[in-house]
Structure 1
Amino acid sequence: MYLKLMITALVIILSFLLKQVIIRLLKSKASKTGVDHRHTLNTVRNIVNLLVVIAVFIVWSAELQKFAISIAAFVVAIVLVTKEIIQCFIGFIYMQSTAPFRIGDWIKIGDFTGEVSETDWAKVILLEVDINTYEYTGKSVFIPNNQFMTLPLKNLNFMRRYVNHTFSIVREANHINPFVLKQPLLDKALSYCHPFNDVAERYNALIENRLEVKISGPAPSVTITTTELGKVKVTFSVFCPTHEAFVIEQKLTNDMLQLWHDVSHANDTNTVAGKSA
Protein backbone atom coordinates (compact mmCIF):
# COMPACT_ATOMS: atom_id res chain seq x y z
CA MET A 1 0.00 0.00 0.00
CA TYR A 2 2.75 2.44 0.98
CA LEU A 3 4.70 1.54 -2.15
CA LYS A 4 1.71 2.33 -4.34
CA LEU A 5 1.18 5.64 -2.55
CA MET A 6 4.83 6.54 -3.15
CA ILE A 7 4.60 5.52 -6.83
CA THR A 8 1.42 7.59 -7.26
CA ALA A 9 3.02 10.64 -5.63
CA LEU A 10 6.13 10.19 -7.78
CA VAL A 11 4.06 9.96 -10.98
CA ILE A 12 2.17 13.14 -10.10
CA ILE A 13 5.35 15.06 -9.22
CA LEU A 14 7.16 13.93 -12.37
CA SER A 15 4.19 14.81 -14.56
CA PHE A 16 4.03 18.27 -13.00
CA LEU A 17 7.75 18.83 -13.58
CA LEU A 18 7.47 17.54 -17.16
CA LYS A 19 4.62 19.94 -17.90
CA GLN A 20 6.56 22.87 -16.46
CA VAL A 21 9.66 22.04 -18.53
CA ILE A 22 7.67 21.69 -21.78
CA ILE A 23 5.67 24.87 -21.08
CA ARG A 24 8.83 26.88 -20.42
CA LEU A 25 10.47 25.56 -23.59
CA LEU A 26 7.42 26.41 -25.72
CA LYS A 27 7.04 29.85 -24.15
CA SER A 28 10.73 30.55 -24.70
CA LYS A 29 10.39 29.46 -28.33
CA ALA A 30 7.25 31.57 -28.74
CA SER A 31 8.99 34.69 -27.39
CA LYS A 32 11.79 34.21 -29.93
CA THR A 33 9.72 33.32 -32.99
CA GLY A 34 6.52 35.23 -32.19
CA VAL A 35 4.42 32.15 -33.02
CA ASP A 36 1.30 31.51 -30.93
CA HIS A 37 1.86 28.18 -29.11
CA ARG A 38 -1.22 28.30 -26.89
CA HIS A 39 -2.87 25.45 -28.81
CA THR A 40 0.23 23.26 -28.40
CA LEU A 41 0.49 24.14 -24.69
CA ASN A 42 -3.14 23.22 -24.15
CA THR A 43 -2.68 19.91 -25.99
CA VAL A 44 0.42 19.07 -23.94
CA ARG A 45 -1.41 19.71 -20.67
CA ASN A 46 -4.31 17.48 -21.69
CA ILE A 47 -2.03 14.64 -22.88
CA VAL A 48 0.09 14.69 -19.71
CA ASN A 49 -3.02 14.77 -17.51
CA LEU A 50 -4.48 11.81 -19.41
CA LEU A 51 -1.23 9.84 -19.02
CA VAL A 52 -1.23 10.56 -15.27
CA VAL A 53 -4.80 9.26 -14.95
CA ILE A 54 -3.90 6.10 -16.90
CA ALA A 55 -0.76 5.54 -14.81
CA VAL A 56 -2.61 5.97 -11.51
CA PHE A 57 -5.36 3.66 -12.77
CA ILE A 58 -2.77 0.97 -13.62
CA VAL A 59 -1.07 1.29 -10.22
CA TRP A 60 -4.35 0.98 -8.35
CA SER A 61 -6.11 -1.37 -10.78
CA ALA A 62 -6.45 -4.22 -8.29
CA GLU A 63 -7.93 -2.00 -5.59
CA LEU A 64 -10.20 -0.30 -8.09
CA GLN A 65 -11.45 -3.68 -9.33
CA LYS A 66 -12.32 -4.78 -5.82
CA PHE A 67 -13.94 -1.44 -5.14
CA ALA A 68 -15.99 -1.67 -8.35
CA ILE A 69 -17.26 -5.12 -7.43
CA SER A 70 -18.15 -4.01 -3.92
CA ILE A 71 -20.29 -1.12 -5.17
CA ALA A 72 -21.92 -2.96 -8.07
CA ALA A 73 -25.30 -2.42 -6.44
CA PHE A 74 -24.77 1.34 -6.55
CA VAL A 75 -23.64 1.61 -10.18
CA VAL A 76 -26.94 3.02 -11.40
CA ALA A 77 -26.99 5.61 -8.62
CA ILE A 78 -23.38 6.60 -9.34
CA VAL A 79 -24.13 7.03 -13.04
CA LEU A 80 -27.07 9.26 -12.25
CA VAL A 81 -25.01 11.34 -9.83
CA THR A 82 -22.09 11.70 -12.24
CA LYS A 83 -24.26 12.18 -15.33
CA GLU A 84 -23.09 15.78 -15.89
CA ILE A 85 -19.44 14.78 -15.52
CA ILE A 86 -19.85 11.94 -17.99
CA GLN A 87 -21.59 14.26 -20.45
CA CYS A 88 -18.74 16.77 -20.13
CA PHE A 89 -16.18 14.04 -20.87
CA ILE A 90 -18.18 12.85 -23.88
CA GLY A 91 -18.44 16.48 -25.03
CA PHE A 92 -14.65 16.78 -24.76
CA ILE A 93 -14.18 13.68 -26.93
CA TYR A 94 -16.71 15.07 -29.41
CA MET A 95 -14.87 18.41 -29.68
CA GLN A 96 -11.48 16.75 -30.04
CA SER A 97 -12.76 14.50 -32.83
CA THR A 98 -14.70 17.15 -34.78
CA ALA A 99 -12.42 20.16 -34.02
CA PRO A 100 -15.10 22.88 -34.41
CA PHE A 101 -12.62 25.43 -33.07
CA ARG A 102 -9.03 25.87 -31.88
CA ILE A 103 -7.34 27.80 -29.10
CA GLY A 104 -7.46 31.48 -30.09
CA ASP A 105 -10.65 31.21 -32.19
CA TRP A 106 -13.62 33.50 -31.56
CA ILE A 107 -16.81 31.52 -30.95
CA LYS A 108 -20.40 32.15 -29.89
CA ILE A 109 -22.09 29.54 -27.71
CA GLY A 110 -25.54 30.34 -26.34
CA ASP A 111 -25.49 33.97 -25.16
CA PHE A 112 -21.71 34.11 -24.77
CA THR A 113 -19.11 35.28 -27.27
CA GLY A 114 -15.39 35.11 -26.67
CA GLU A 115 -11.94 33.88 -27.55
CA VAL A 116 -11.11 30.28 -26.66
CA SER A 117 -8.20 30.44 -24.20
CA GLU A 118 -8.17 26.92 -22.73
CA THR A 119 -9.94 23.56 -22.98
CA ASP A 120 -9.92 20.44 -20.84
CA TRP A 121 -12.10 17.37 -20.29
CA ALA A 122 -14.63 19.33 -18.20
CA LYS A 123 -14.89 22.85 -19.65
CA VAL A 124 -13.89 25.49 -22.18
CA ILE A 125 -12.67 28.87 -20.95
CA LEU A 126 -13.57 31.92 -23.03
CA LEU A 127 -12.17 35.43 -22.81
CA GLU A 128 -15.44 37.31 -23.24
CA VAL A 129 -15.74 39.68 -26.21
CA ASP A 130 -18.37 42.41 -26.55
CA ILE A 131 -19.86 41.62 -29.96
CA ASN A 132 -21.00 45.26 -30.39
CA THR A 133 -17.56 46.86 -29.94
CA TYR A 134 -15.37 43.77 -30.65
CA GLU A 135 -13.42 44.54 -27.45
CA TYR A 136 -12.42 42.18 -24.65
CA THR A 137 -14.54 42.75 -21.54
CA GLY A 138 -11.89 41.41 -19.17
CA LYS A 139 -14.21 38.60 -18.01
CA SER A 140 -13.62 34.86 -18.30
CA VAL A 141 -16.52 32.52 -19.09
CA PHE A 142 -16.41 28.83 -18.13
CA ILE A 143 -18.58 26.70 -20.45
CA PRO A 144 -19.16 23.02 -19.51
CA ASN A 145 -18.33 20.71 -22.41
CA ASN A 146 -21.81 19.16 -22.45
CA GLN A 147 -23.21 22.53 -23.57
CA PHE A 148 -21.41 22.16 -26.91
CA MET A 149 -23.59 19.12 -27.69
CA THR A 150 -26.90 20.85 -26.94
CA LEU A 151 -26.45 24.52 -27.87
CA PRO A 152 -25.76 26.04 -31.31
CA LEU A 153 -22.09 26.89 -31.82
CA LYS A 154 -20.82 29.64 -34.12
CA ASN A 155 -17.18 29.92 -35.10
CA LEU A 156 -16.46 33.64 -35.54
CA ASN A 157 -12.75 33.28 -36.22
CA PHE A 158 -12.89 35.29 -39.46
CA MET A 159 -14.15 38.23 -37.37
CA ARG A 160 -10.84 38.46 -35.51
CA ARG A 161 -9.32 40.45 -38.41
CA TYR A 162 -12.18 41.79 -40.54
CA VAL A 163 -15.89 42.07 -39.87
CA ASN A 164 -18.96 43.02 -41.87
CA HIS A 165 -20.15 45.62 -39.35
CA THR A 166 -23.81 46.66 -39.64
CA PHE A 167 -25.54 49.29 -37.51
CA SER A 168 -28.60 51.53 -37.78
CA ILE A 169 -29.61 55.05 -36.76
CA VAL A 170 -33.28 55.96 -36.26
CA ARG A 171 -34.56 59.55 -36.50
CA GLU A 172 -37.87 61.37 -36.67
CA ALA A 173 -38.80 62.28 -40.23
CA ASN A 174 -39.14 66.05 -39.57
CA HIS A 175 -40.27 66.70 -43.16
CA ILE A 176 -36.80 65.76 -44.46
CA ASN A 177 -36.19 63.63 -47.52
CA PRO A 178 -33.56 61.26 -46.09
CA PHE A 179 -32.43 60.14 -49.56
CA VAL A 180 -30.62 63.46 -50.04
CA LEU A 181 -28.25 62.23 -47.31
CA LYS A 182 -27.57 58.82 -48.85
CA GLN A 183 -24.82 59.75 -51.31
CA PRO A 184 -22.91 62.07 -48.92
CA LEU A 185 -22.99 59.36 -46.25
CA LEU A 186 -21.87 56.72 -48.73
CA ASP A 187 -18.98 58.98 -49.79
CA LYS A 188 -17.99 59.35 -46.13
CA ALA A 189 -18.08 55.57 -45.63
CA LEU A 190 -15.96 55.03 -48.75
CA SER A 191 -13.38 57.56 -47.54
CA TYR A 192 -13.12 55.86 -44.12
CA CYS A 193 -12.69 52.44 -45.75
CA HIS A 194 -10.29 53.56 -48.49
CA PRO A 195 -7.00 53.08 -46.51
CA PHE A 196 -7.59 49.33 -46.13
CA ASN A 197 -9.74 48.70 -49.22
CA ASP A 198 -7.18 46.49 -51.04
CA VAL A 199 -6.62 44.26 -48.00
CA ALA A 200 -10.39 44.10 -47.36
CA GLU A 201 -11.02 42.90 -50.92
CA ARG A 202 -8.44 40.11 -50.58
CA TYR A 203 -9.75 39.06 -47.16
CA ASN A 204 -13.34 39.14 -48.40
CA ALA A 205 -12.37 36.89 -51.32
CA LEU A 206 -10.52 34.55 -48.93
CA ILE A 207 -13.63 34.16 -46.74
CA GLU A 208 -15.86 33.54 -49.77
CA ASN A 209 -13.46 30.87 -51.11
CA ARG A 210 -13.24 29.05 -47.79
CA LEU A 211 -16.94 29.20 -47.01
CA GLU A 212 -17.97 28.76 -50.66
CA VAL A 213 -20.68 31.40 -50.25
CA LYS A 214 -21.13 34.99 -51.36
CA ILE A 215 -21.00 37.53 -48.54
CA SER A 216 -21.68 41.25 -48.62
CA GLY A 217 -18.71 43.56 -48.98
CA PRO A 218 -16.14 44.83 -49.17
CA ALA A 219 -17.79 47.99 -50.57
CA PRO A 220 -19.78 49.86 -47.88
CA SER A 221 -23.52 50.38 -48.29
CA VAL A 222 -26.18 52.75 -46.95
CA THR A 223 -29.83 51.66 -46.83
CA ILE A 224 -32.78 53.87 -45.91
CA THR A 225 -36.01 52.34 -44.62
CA THR A 226 -38.73 53.17 -42.11
CA THR A 227 -39.68 51.57 -38.80
CA GLU A 228 -43.12 50.33 -37.78
CA LEU A 229 -43.69 53.72 -36.13
CA GLY A 230 -42.92 55.61 -39.34
CA LYS A 231 -39.48 56.85 -38.27
CA VAL A 232 -36.56 57.00 -40.67
CA LYS A 233 -34.02 54.19 -40.26
CA VAL A 234 -30.60 54.57 -41.88
CA THR A 235 -28.57 51.33 -41.94
CA PHE A 236 -24.83 51.25 -42.63
CA SER A 237 -22.81 48.18 -43.59
CA VAL A 238 -19.01 48.38 -43.74
CA PHE A 239 -16.44 45.63 -44.22
CA CYS A 240 -13.51 46.80 -42.14
CA PRO A 241 -10.77 45.71 -39.69
CA THR A 242 -12.38 44.53 -36.47
CA HIS A 243 -10.51 47.05 -34.33
CA GLU A 244 -11.71 49.88 -36.60
CA ALA A 245 -15.42 48.91 -36.65
CA PHE A 246 -16.56 50.89 -33.61
CA VAL A 247 -14.41 53.90 -34.59
CA ILE A 248 -15.96 54.00 -38.08
CA GLU A 249 -19.44 53.60 -36.56
CA GLN A 250 -18.86 56.65 -34.37
CA LYS A 251 -17.58 58.71 -37.30
CA LEU A 252 -20.54 57.81 -39.52
CA THR A 253 -22.97 58.45 -36.68
CA ASN A 254 -21.49 61.91 -36.22
CA ASP A 255 -21.65 62.56 -39.98
CA MET A 256 -25.24 61.36 -40.15
CA LEU A 257 -26.42 63.57 -37.27
CA GLN A 258 -24.50 66.58 -38.59
CA LEU A 259 -25.92 66.23 -42.12
CA TRP A 260 -29.40 65.70 -40.69
CA HIS A 261 -29.03 68.86 -38.60
CA ASP A 262 -27.75 70.89 -41.58
CA VAL A 263 -30.60 69.76 -43.87
CA SER A 264 -33.19 70.35 -41.15
CA HIS A 265 -31.79 73.80 -40.41
CA ALA A 266 -31.77 74.67 -44.12
CA ASN A 267 -35.41 73.57 -44.44
CA ASP A 268 -36.42 75.67 -41.41
CA THR A 269 -34.61 78.69 -42.86
CA ASN A 270 -36.34 78.29 -46.22
CA THR A 271 -39.70 77.93 -44.49
CA VAL A 272 -39.20 81.12 -42.48
CA ALA A 273 -38.00 82.96 -45.60
CA GLY A 274 -41.05 81.78 -47.54
CA LYS A 275 -43.40 83.00 -44.83
CA SER A 276 -41.65 86.38 -44.66
CA ALA A 277 -41.96 86.80 -48.40
Structure 2
Amino acid sequence: MIQMPDFINQLNINREIIQTVVVIPSIILLRWLWLRFYFYRNPDMELEFKRRAMVVSRNLALLVGLIALTAVWATQIQHFALSMVALAAATVLATKELIMCLLGSMMRMITNQYSIGDYVEIANIRGRVVDINMFNTLVIQTGTSSQLTDLSGKTVSFPNSLLLNAPLSRDNVMGNYVVHTFEIPVPIRLDSDTIVPRLEWVLRDYCARYVLDIAQYFEEVKTQKMFVTPTAEPTITRMPRDTSMYCLVVRFASPLNKRLAIQQAILDEFIRIQYLLMSNDDNQ
Protein backbone atom coordinates (compact mmCIF):
# COMPACT_ATOMS: atom_id res chain seq x y z
CA MET A 1 0.00 0.00 0.00
CA ILE A 2 1.39 3.39 -1.03
CA GLN A 3 1.86 5.76 1.89
CA MET A 4 0.86 9.44 1.54
CA PRO A 5 4.45 10.77 1.66
CA ASP A 6 5.47 8.30 -1.07
CA PHE A 7 2.42 9.31 -3.09
CA ILE A 8 3.37 12.96 -2.81
CA ASN A 9 6.94 12.21 -3.79
CA GLN A 10 5.73 10.23 -6.81
CA LEU A 11 3.69 13.26 -7.91
CA ASN A 12 6.85 15.32 -7.52
CA ILE A 13 4.99 17.95 -5.49
CA ASN A 14 7.20 20.21 -3.45
CA ARG A 15 6.40 20.25 0.25
CA GLU A 16 6.69 24.07 0.38
CA ILE A 17 4.07 24.42 -2.35
CA ILE A 18 1.61 22.21 -0.44
CA GLN A 19 2.18 24.17 2.76
CA THR A 20 1.71 27.45 0.90
CA VAL A 21 -1.55 26.25 -0.62
CA VAL A 22 -2.78 25.31 2.87
CA VAL A 23 -1.54 28.40 4.73
CA ILE A 24 -2.93 31.16 2.49
CA PRO A 25 -6.57 29.95 2.33
CA SER A 26 -6.43 29.17 6.06
CA ILE A 27 -5.45 32.74 6.93
CA ILE A 28 -8.12 34.16 4.62
CA LEU A 29 -10.75 31.86 6.13
CA LEU A 30 -9.75 32.72 9.71
CA ARG A 31 -9.94 36.45 8.96
CA TRP A 32 -13.37 36.04 7.38
CA LEU A 33 -14.66 34.00 10.34
CA TRP A 34 -13.29 36.50 12.85
CA LEU A 35 -14.94 39.46 11.06
CA ARG A 36 -18.25 37.59 10.86
CA PHE A 37 -18.11 36.76 14.56
CA TYR A 38 -17.00 40.28 15.53
CA PHE A 39 -19.74 42.02 13.52
CA TYR A 40 -22.32 39.50 14.75
CA ARG A 41 -21.40 40.26 18.39
CA ASN A 42 -21.54 44.01 17.69
CA PRO A 43 -24.49 44.58 15.32
CA ASP A 44 -24.85 48.29 16.19
CA MET A 45 -21.21 49.18 15.59
CA GLU A 46 -20.60 52.45 13.77
CA LEU A 47 -19.29 52.37 10.21
CA GLU A 48 -16.00 53.99 11.25
CA PHE A 49 -15.25 51.16 13.74
CA LYS A 50 -16.27 48.48 11.22
CA ARG A 51 -13.90 50.02 8.70
CA ARG A 52 -11.13 50.11 11.28
CA ALA A 53 -11.70 46.44 12.18
CA MET A 54 -11.51 45.43 8.51
CA VAL A 55 -8.29 47.38 7.93
CA VAL A 56 -6.62 46.08 11.09
CA SER A 57 -7.62 42.47 10.37
CA ARG A 58 -6.44 42.76 6.77
CA ASN A 59 -3.04 44.16 7.75
CA LEU A 60 -2.66 41.58 10.53
CA ALA A 61 -3.56 38.75 8.15
CA LEU A 62 -1.04 40.05 5.63
CA LEU A 63 1.67 40.24 8.30
CA VAL A 64 0.92 36.73 9.58
CA GLY A 65 0.87 35.46 6.00
CA LEU A 66 4.28 36.97 5.25
CA ILE A 67 5.75 35.48 8.42
CA ALA A 68 4.23 32.07 7.68
CA LEU A 69 5.43 32.03 4.07
CA THR A 70 8.88 33.16 5.16
CA ALA A 71 8.99 30.25 7.62
CA VAL A 72 7.77 27.79 4.96
CA TRP A 73 10.26 28.93 2.34
CA ALA A 74 13.12 29.69 4.77
CA THR A 75 15.37 26.93 3.45
CA GLN A 76 14.84 27.89 -0.17
CA ILE A 77 15.34 31.56 0.63
CA GLN A 78 18.57 30.78 2.47
CA HIS A 79 19.93 28.74 -0.45
CA PHE A 80 18.94 31.46 -2.87
CA ALA A 81 20.50 34.19 -0.74
CA LEU A 82 23.80 32.33 -0.40
CA SER A 83 24.04 31.68 -4.12
CA MET A 84 22.77 35.06 -5.27
CA VAL A 85 24.45 37.61 -2.98
CA ALA A 86 25.07 40.09 -5.75
CA LEU A 87 21.53 39.78 -7.04
CA ALA A 88 20.19 40.21 -3.51
CA ALA A 89 22.18 43.42 -3.08
CA ALA A 90 20.85 44.74 -6.38
CA THR A 91 17.33 43.77 -5.34
CA VAL A 92 17.67 45.71 -2.09
CA LEU A 93 18.76 48.79 -4.01
CA ALA A 94 15.93 48.37 -6.50
CA THR A 95 13.35 47.92 -3.76
CA LYS A 96 14.68 50.66 -1.49
CA GLU A 97 11.42 52.62 -1.61
CA LEU A 98 9.35 49.53 -0.73
CA ILE A 99 11.65 48.77 2.20
CA MET A 100 11.33 52.36 3.42
CA CYS A 101 7.54 52.07 3.13
CA LEU A 102 7.61 48.95 5.29
CA LEU A 103 9.85 50.66 7.83
CA GLY A 104 7.53 53.67 7.89
CA SER A 105 4.55 51.36 8.42
CA MET A 106 6.34 49.60 11.29
CA MET A 107 7.18 52.95 12.89
CA ARG A 108 3.54 54.06 12.60
CA MET A 109 2.32 50.88 14.31
CA ILE A 110 4.94 51.08 17.08
CA THR A 111 4.41 54.79 17.84
CA ASN A 112 0.66 54.81 17.07
CA GLN A 113 1.07 58.05 15.12
CA TYR A 114 -2.42 57.88 13.58
CA SER A 115 -5.25 55.48 12.81
CA ILE A 116 -8.47 55.28 10.81
CA GLY A 117 -10.58 58.42 11.21
CA ASP A 118 -7.74 60.76 12.25
CA TYR A 119 -7.17 64.12 10.57
CA VAL A 120 -3.53 64.34 9.48
CA GLU A 121 -1.29 66.59 7.41
CA ILE A 122 2.03 65.58 5.85
CA ALA A 123 3.98 66.96 2.88
CA ASN A 124 1.13 69.36 1.94
CA ILE A 125 -1.35 66.46 1.99
CA ARG A 126 -4.20 67.10 4.41
CA GLY A 127 -7.24 64.92 5.04
CA ARG A 128 -8.98 62.23 7.06
CA VAL A 129 -7.44 58.75 7.09
CA VAL A 130 -9.72 56.09 5.58
CA ASP A 131 -7.32 53.23 4.83
CA ILE A 132 -3.86 52.11 5.91
CA ASN A 133 -1.80 49.25 4.52
CA MET A 134 1.84 48.25 4.76
CA PHE A 135 2.92 50.51 1.88
CA ASN A 136 0.71 53.59 1.80
CA THR A 137 -2.02 55.55 3.56
CA LEU A 138 -5.23 56.72 1.89
CA VAL A 139 -6.91 59.95 3.02
CA ILE A 140 -10.01 61.85 1.93
CA GLN A 141 -8.80 65.38 1.33
CA THR A 142 -10.17 68.36 3.19
CA GLY A 143 -10.30 71.86 1.71
CA THR A 144 -7.38 73.46 -0.06
CA SER A 145 -6.69 75.63 2.99
CA SER A 146 -5.62 74.39 6.41
CA GLN A 147 -8.51 76.43 7.80
CA LEU A 148 -11.06 74.22 6.00
CA THR A 149 -11.97 70.83 7.45
CA ASP A 150 -14.92 69.78 5.27
CA LEU A 151 -14.18 66.64 3.26
CA SER A 152 -13.76 67.41 -0.44
CA GLY A 153 -14.67 63.89 -1.66
CA LYS A 154 -11.29 63.46 -3.36
CA THR A 155 -8.86 60.84 -2.11
CA VAL A 156 -5.08 60.94 -2.15
CA SER A 157 -2.56 58.39 -0.92
CA PHE A 158 0.97 58.92 0.31
CA PRO A 159 3.73 56.32 0.76
CA ASN A 160 4.46 55.37 4.34
CA SER A 161 8.12 56.16 3.66
CA LEU A 162 7.19 59.82 4.16
CA LEU A 163 6.81 59.08 7.87
CA LEU A 164 10.59 58.57 8.08
CA ASN A 165 11.62 61.99 6.80
CA ALA A 166 8.63 64.37 6.88
CA PRO A 167 6.88 65.89 9.91
CA LEU A 168 3.29 64.73 10.43
CA SER A 169 0.64 66.74 12.24
CA ARG A 170 -2.50 65.18 13.70
CA ASP A 171 -5.48 67.31 14.63
CA ASN A 172 -7.38 65.02 16.99
CA VAL A 173 -4.51 63.98 19.27
CA MET A 174 -6.87 64.70 22.18
CA GLY A 175 -9.43 62.12 21.05
CA ASN A 176 -12.88 63.55 20.37
CA TYR A 177 -11.73 67.09 21.14
CA VAL A 178 -9.44 69.38 19.16
CA VAL A 179 -7.66 72.67 19.75
CA HIS A 180 -8.27 74.62 16.56
CA THR A 181 -6.40 77.72 15.40
CA PHE A 182 -6.95 79.90 12.36
CA GLU A 183 -5.97 83.41 11.22
CA ILE A 184 -8.05 86.31 9.95
CA PRO A 185 -6.16 88.95 7.89
CA VAL A 186 -7.43 92.46 8.61
CA PRO A 187 -6.67 95.75 6.78
CA ILE A 188 -4.54 97.96 9.00
CA ARG A 189 -7.05 100.84 8.86
CA LEU A 190 -9.75 98.81 10.65
CA ASP A 191 -9.62 99.34 14.42
CA SER A 192 -9.00 96.05 16.24
CA ASP A 193 -10.58 97.45 19.41
CA THR A 194 -13.87 97.51 17.54
CA ILE A 195 -13.50 94.07 15.96
CA VAL A 196 -11.98 91.89 18.69
CA PRO A 197 -14.59 92.38 21.47
CA ARG A 198 -17.45 91.40 19.17
CA LEU A 199 -15.58 88.36 17.88
CA GLU A 200 -14.70 87.34 21.44
CA TRP A 201 -18.35 87.57 22.43
CA VAL A 202 -19.39 85.23 19.58
CA LEU A 203 -16.48 82.86 20.25
CA ARG A 204 -17.18 82.56 23.98
CA ASP A 205 -20.89 82.14 23.35
CA TYR A 206 -20.26 79.14 21.08
CA CYS A 207 -17.56 77.60 23.28
CA ALA A 208 -19.21 78.14 26.67
CA ARG A 209 -21.16 74.88 26.53
CA TYR A 210 -17.95 72.85 25.96
CA VAL A 211 -15.25 74.62 28.00
CA LEU A 212 -15.80 72.90 31.36
CA ASP A 213 -16.07 69.39 29.89
CA ILE A 214 -13.01 69.91 27.70
CA ALA A 215 -10.97 71.37 30.57
CA GLN A 216 -11.83 68.36 32.73
CA TYR A 217 -10.95 65.97 29.92
CA PHE A 218 -7.61 67.73 29.33
CA GLU A 219 -6.77 67.36 33.02
CA GLU A 220 -7.51 63.63 32.83
CA VAL A 221 -5.28 63.30 29.76
CA LYS A 222 -2.51 65.21 31.55
CA THR A 223 -2.74 62.86 34.54
CA GLN A 224 -3.08 59.57 32.65
CA LYS A 225 -0.74 60.15 29.69
CA MET A 226 1.46 62.87 31.19
CA PHE A 227 0.80 65.14 28.21
CA VAL A 228 1.32 68.88 28.41
CA THR A 229 -2.25 69.84 27.53
CA PRO A 230 -3.30 73.32 26.34
CA THR A 231 -5.89 75.49 28.00
CA ALA A 232 -9.51 75.06 26.96
CA GLU A 233 -10.28 78.79 27.15
CA PRO A 234 -10.85 80.46 23.75
CA THR A 235 -8.55 83.37 22.85
CA ILE A 236 -8.07 85.94 20.08
CA THR A 237 -4.57 87.36 19.67
CA ARG A 238 -3.57 90.36 17.53
CA MET A 239 -0.42 89.90 15.45
CA PRO A 240 1.28 92.44 13.15
CA ARG A 241 1.94 91.28 9.60
CA ASP A 242 3.08 94.23 7.44
CA THR A 243 2.33 97.91 6.92
CA SER A 244 -1.03 97.21 5.26
CA MET A 245 -2.34 94.23 7.23
CA TYR A 246 -2.47 92.70 10.66
CA CYS A 247 -4.00 89.36 11.59
CA LEU A 248 -6.21 88.03 14.35
CA VAL A 249 -5.21 84.57 15.56
CA VAL A 250 -8.33 82.77 16.81
CA ARG A 251 -7.79 79.74 19.03
CA PHE A 252 -10.41 77.59 20.73
CA ALA A 253 -11.06 74.05 21.97
CA SER A 254 -14.18 72.20 20.82
CA PRO A 255 -15.53 68.78 19.87
CA LEU A 256 -13.96 67.58 16.66
CA ASN A 257 -17.22 67.76 14.69
CA LYS A 258 -18.03 71.32 15.88
CA ARG A 259 -14.85 73.20 15.04
CA LEU A 260 -15.82 74.11 11.48
CA ALA A 261 -19.21 75.50 12.57
CA ILE A 262 -17.55 77.66 15.25
CA GLN A 263 -14.90 78.86 12.83
CA GLN A 264 -17.54 79.76 10.25
CA ALA A 265 -19.56 81.69 12.86
CA ILE A 266 -16.48 83.77 13.72
CA LEU A 267 -15.74 84.44 10.06
CA ASP A 268 -19.36 85.43 9.36
CA GLU A 269 -19.30 87.91 12.24
CA PHE A 270 -15.98 89.34 11.08
CA ILE A 271 -17.28 89.85 7.54
CA ARG A 272 -20.29 91.71 8.90
CA ILE A 273 -18.09 93.94 11.07
CA GLN A 274 -15.64 94.55 8.24
CA TYR A 275 -18.46 95.56 5.90
CA LEU A 276 -19.89 98.04 8.42
CA LEU A 277 -16.51 99.59 9.20
CA MET A 278 -15.54 99.98 5.56
CA SER A 279 -18.97 101.39 4.69
CA ASN A 280 -18.57 104.01 7.44
CA ASP A 281 -15.11 104.91 6.16
CA ASP A 282 -16.44 105.37 2.62
CA ASN A 283 -19.29 107.59 3.83
CA GLN A 284 -16.98 109.91 5.74
**How far apart, CA to CA, are the structure 2 residues paired with 1:11 and 1:97?**
27
Q: Do the aligned partners of 2:101 and 2:136 also contact (CA within 8 Å) in 1?
A: yes
Shift of 1:228: 0.8
Q: List alignment gaps of at least 5 residues for structure 1.
A: 272-277
2:234 aligned with 1:223? no
Cα offset for 1:187? 1.5
Alignment partner, residue 181 of structure 1: 195
Q: CA deviation at 1:37?
A: 5.6
Query: Is the alpha carbon distance of 1:17 and 1:229 closer, same or farther for their aligned partners in structure 2, counting shifts above 3 Å?
Result: same
* Contact residue 26 and residue 37 of structure 1 kept, 8 A: no
Task: State the Cα distance separating 1:179 from its structure 2 match.
Answer: 0.9
5+ residue gaps in structure 2?
A: 1-11
Partner of 1:274: none
Instruction: Indicate conservation of the 8 Å contact 2:240/2:247, yes or no.
Output: yes
Please tell me the residue identity of whatever aligns with 1:79.
Answer: V
TM-score (norm 2): 0.75
CA distance in 2, matches of 1:170, 1:250: 15
Question: Which of residues 92, 116, 119 in structure 2 aligns to 1:106?
Answer: 119
In structure 1, distance between residues paired with 2:86 and 2:44 = 57
Deviation at residue 136 of structure 1 after TM alignment: 2.7
- The residue that corresponds to 1:91 in the other structure is 104
Contact kept? 2:147, 2:182, Cα under 8 Å: no
The percentage of counterpart residues that share the same residue type is: 23
**Residues 1:161 and 1:17: Cα distance change in structure 2 (over 3 Å):** same
Q: How does 1:1-277 map to 2 (within 5 A)?
A: 1-2=12-13, 4=15, 5-32=17-44, 36=49, 40-130=53-143, 131-158=146-173, 161-174=176-189, 176-206=190-220, 208-209=222-223, 210=225, 212-213=227-228, 215=230, 217-266=231-280, 271=284
Q: How far apart, CA to CA, are the structure 1 residues paired with 2:240 and 2:102?
A: 50
Deviation per CA, 1:77-131: give whole Å up to 9, x if none. Answer: 2222222223333333333333333444433333223444444433333344444
Q: Distance in 2 between matches of 1:222 and 1:185?
A: 8
Cα distance, 1:78–1:107 mapped onto 2, change above 3 Å: same
**CA displacement, residues 220-240 of structure 1 (integer Å, 9 cap, x when unaligned):** 223344431333433332322
Deviations 1:14-55 (A, max 9, x none): 222222111222233333455936555444333433333344
What code does the residue aligned with 2:185 have? Answer: V
State the secondary structure of the residue aligned to 1:9.
helix
Moved more, 178-187 or 124-133: 124-133
The answer to whether the 8 A contact 1:172-1:231 is kept is yes
Distance (whole Å) between structure 2 residues aligned to residue 258 and residue 23 of structure 1: 53
Which AA in structure 2 matches 1:133?
Answer: L
Q: How far apart are residue 142 of structure 1 and its match?
A: 3.0
What amino acid maps onto 2:268 in structure 1? N
Q: Which runs of 4+ in 1 moved over 6 A?
A: none
The number of residues matched between the two structures is 268
Report the TM-score when normalising by structure 1: 0.77
